[in-house]
Amino acid sequence: MSEKMEILNDRLFEVGPSTLFGAFADPEKLTQWWGPHGFANRIDRFDFRPGGDWHITMTASDGTDFDNRSTFQEIVPSERIVFLHHLPMHVYTMEMRFVAEGGGTRLHWRMLFEPTAENLQLKKFIAAANEQNFDRLEALLQQLNEGR
């Protein structure tokens, strides 16, 4: 059995763990920030419990739809989310950890892929796309904070 290819991203957000966790756990908020820049999202199913399915259609700026299917494996409120992304391609496990740090929360993303030639080529792109995800999340959190 081969070693998994690991992609790690983390960022400190200036909100508490429950707020950061809620930005994922609330599908209405999740659609606003999930994916790299230029994507719009539609969530067709979001059964947020271990064993539950998550179906999201990500639409690129050129109108191309990407249907994604995942299954939640573990959910610990304000601490951890683990899901298996299994369709349409690039099967991977995503672990999201929410760690209180200073006055905010550090979000750790750990993605595990099979080390195929295609996945190895995509590694830098995926890490950069994750940073764009974080940028979009940060913008949403700022909007929500200003709306209070």
User: What domains, with CATH codes, occur in the chain?
Assistant: 5-146 (3.30.530.20)
Does this model's pTM top 0.85? My answer is yes
Angle between the N-to-C axes of helices 17-25 and 117-146, in degrees from 0 to 180, rounded to the nearest 10:
110
Locate all alpha helices (DSSP H) within 2-146, ordered by sequence: 17-25, 27-33, 117-146
Task: Give 36-84 pLDDT, tens digit per residue.
Answer: 999 999 999 999 999 999 999 999 999 999 999 999 999 999 999 999 9
Give 90-113 pLDDT, tens digit per residue: 899 999 999 999 999 999 999 999
6 backbone dihedrals φ, ψ, rounded to 5°: -115, 135
